[in-house]
A and B are shown apart, each in its own frame.
Chain A
Amino acid sequence: MNDKDVIICRCEDVTLADIKKAIKDGYTDVESLKRHLQIGTGPCQGKTCIPLTEKILARELQKSVEDVGVVTSRPPESPVPFGIFLKGDKKNGK
C-alpha cells in the first residue's frame, strides 16, 4: 500500500506519508510532530494514533519508543460540553 493511503490519525486526516515527510523536515520528537500535524487532537483524543505515531517515529529514527518522547495527556479524558459545568440560574448566567 502507498504511504499516502495509510491513515494514521483519522480525526485529523494525517497519513503515513505526512508523518514521514515531517520527520524528514526535522520534527524528530512526538510532541513537535503532533503539534505540526495536529495528530491526536481530534474527538477521539489520540487514543490510537498517538501510540502509532510513537512507533513510526521510533522505527524511522531507529530509536526506542522511550527515546522519542511520550506525549503528556491533557485532561479532560474525553470531550465534554462547556454547559456541563454550568451552575446557578442558567437563564441569567452569573
Chain B
Amino acid sequence: MESKDVVIIGGGITGLSTAYYLAKEGLRNIVVIEKSYLGSGSTGRCGTGIRQQFTTREHIILMRESVKLWKEWENNLPKSVHFRQGGYLWLLKESEMDAYREYVRLQNILGVNSRIIGKDDVKLIVPDINTEGIAGASWCPSDGNAYPFDTIDALRIALKRFGILIRQFEEVKEIKVKNGIIQQVVTDKETFNTHFVVDAAGFGARKVARMVGVDLPLKLYRHQIAVSEPVKVFLEPMVVKGELYFTQTYRGRIIGGTDLNEQPTESLSSTDEFLPQFANEILSVLPTISSLNVMRQWAGFYVVTPDHHPILGGTDLPGFLLGVGFSGHGFMLGPVVGKLLATYIMHGTMYLPEANNLDLRRFRSGCLIQEKAVIG
C-alpha cells in the first residue's frame, strides 16, 4: 500500500493541471488516477475555445489570469499546446448590441481588451462572413484556442519529468473516512493512504463526492461537435453566433458545434439531428465552406451547475477539494484552476480572491453568480 500526499481523481485538464502546479510547488509524492485514458473525458472532446468575454467578475478575472497562464504553458511546457490568440468574434443582432456593450464595459474595467465593432469591421476580420441580419460583434483579440490532445500530452510529459505517478485505466471506487478525516482512496487495483483528495472527475465528480457524503448540484448535458477535413488555415478567430461556435484548428480542420436544447442525459451517443442543424447554421454564417467535407462528429458532457460557474476549493470534509462543474468552460479554465487548487492545498488560501466566491457553500447561502454568456 502506497502513501500519497495528494490523490487527484481524474486525468482531464483539471486533474493534470492541478498535479502540474503541485509539482511546481515542490509536492511530488502525488498520484493522478484516471479510469480510462488521459483526456478521455470532456477535455478530449471539447471545442478548443479560450475566451475572456464573460459577464461576471469571477469568470472574467479567472479567465484573464488563465490566458496569461496559457501563454506560459505555450512557452514552458515540453511541447507546444498550440495556444493561439486568434480572438473571439461574437456576432450580434441589433437586439443584442446593448447588452453586450454592458458586458464589454465590465470586461474593460477588469483589464480585458474586448470591444464592440460594426459590420464592416467584422468583414475585415473574417472577409467570408455573411453579415446579413448582423449589426456588429463583440470582439476580443486576446481570446483564442489551444489543442486539447497536445495540451494533455504536454502536461503528461511535464509530470513524467517531475517524477509524478499517473495511473490510467484505474477507477476510484471508494474513499475511506475515519473521525472526519480522509484515510484512504481505494481503486479497482490498489489502495492509497492519503489525507488529501482532489475531485477532478468531470462527469464522474458527483459520484466521487457521494463516496464521502458530499452532494454536488451537477447535471450532465450532452453536447455534440463535428470536424471537417483539413484545409489550409484561413480562420484564426473563434466565431460565435447564438448557440453556434466554430474555428479552425492549427491542423486545418474546421471544428464547431451548436446546442440542440436537450434535457440532461447520461448518454453520449451522437444523434442524427445534429449534423443537419450544425451544417445549416454554419453555412448561414460562412457559406463559402459548403463543399468542405465533414469527417467526424462526437458528443461529450457539459457538467453544469445551477449558476454556470465551477465549484472550486474546500468542502465540509477537511482535505476533500473540488474542481468540478465547469458548465462548458473547463478547458479554458484549466490552467488557472490547477494553479488555484495547488496553491490552496499548499498555502490554504485562494491566490485570486474572486475564487472564494466559487466554493460549494454558495449553494447553501444562495449567493449564486449568474453567467449570461453561455454558448453551444
The chain A residues found within 8 Å of chain B, CB to CB, are 26, 29, 31-32, 35-36, 38, 41, 43, 45, 74-76, 79-87, 92-94
**Smallest Cβ-Cβ distance to A91: which chain B residue:** B287
A-B pairs with lowest CB-CB distance, top 5: A83-B290, A93-B284, A85-B279, A79-B293, A74-B296
A31 x B294 contact (CB < 8 A): no
Nearest CB of A to B319, in Å: 30
A9–B36 CA distance with the chains assembled, in angstroms:
25
- For the complex, what is the distance from the CA of A53 to the CA of B271, rounded to whole Å? 28
Q: Does B231 contact A (CB under 8 A)?
A: no
Q: Report the tally of A-B residue pairs with Cβ distances under 8 A.
A: 81
Contacts of A87 in B (CB 8 A): 276, 280
Compute how far the CA of A38 lies from the CA of B147 in the bound complex, rounded to whole angstroms: 13
Chain B residues in 8 Å Cβ range of A75: 270, 296-297
B interface, CB within 8 angstroms of A: 36-40, 44, 130, 132, 149, 153, 156, 160, 168-169, 228-229, 251, 270, 275-276, 279-285, 287, 289-298
A89 to chain B, nearest CB (A): 11
Q: What distance in Å separates the Cβ of B106 from its nearest Cβ neighbour in chain A?
A: 32
A31-B40, A93-B130, A93-B132 known; A43 vs B279 contact (CB < 8 Å): no
* Residues of chain A lying within 8 A (CB to CB) of residue B156: 26
Judged by DSSP, the binding face of A is: loop
Nearest neighbor of A74 in chain B, beta-carbon distance: B296
Q: Is the CB of A82 within 8 A of B229?
A: no
Is there contact, CB below 8 Å, between A31 and B37? yes
Task: Report whether B292 and A82 are in contact in the complex, using a CB–CB cutoff of 8 Å.
Answer: yes
Question: Which residues of the partner chain A approach B36 to less than 8 Å between Cβ atoms?
Answer: 31
- Residue contact B283 to A83, C-beta cutoff 8 Å: yes
A93 touching B37 by the CB < 8 A rule? no
Interchain CA distance A84-B36 in the complex, whole Å: 36
Residue of A nearest to B133 (CB): A93
**Is there an interface contact between A80 and B287, defined as CB atoms closer than 8 Å?**
no
Quick one: which of B149, B281, B296 contacts A35, CB cutoff 8 A? B149
Query: Contacting A80 at CB < 8 Å: which of B38, B270, B281, B293?
Result: B293
Contact B284 A82 (CB under 8 A): no
A-B contact pairs, 10 of them (CB 8 A): A32-B38, A35-B39, A35-B44, A36-B149, A43-B229, A74-B298, A76-B275, A76-B294, A93-B132, A94-B284
**Smallest Cβ distance from A85 to chain B, in angstroms?**
4
Complex contacts, A26 vs chain B, CB 8 Å: 156, 160
Q: Could you tell me if A79 and B295 are in contact, using CB atoms closer than 8 angstroms?
A: yes
Q: Are B149 and A82 in contact (CB under 8 A)?
A: no
B-chain residues with CB within 8 Å of residue A38 when the two chains form the complex: 251
Contact of A82 among B40, B160, B228, B298 (CB under 8 A): B228
| B40 and A93 contacting across the interface, CB-CB below 8 Å | no
Q: Given A31-B36, A82-B292, 9 other A-B contacts at CB below 8 A?
A: A26-B156, A35-B39, A36-B149, A74-B297, A75-B296, A76-B294, A80-B294, A86-B279, A92-B132
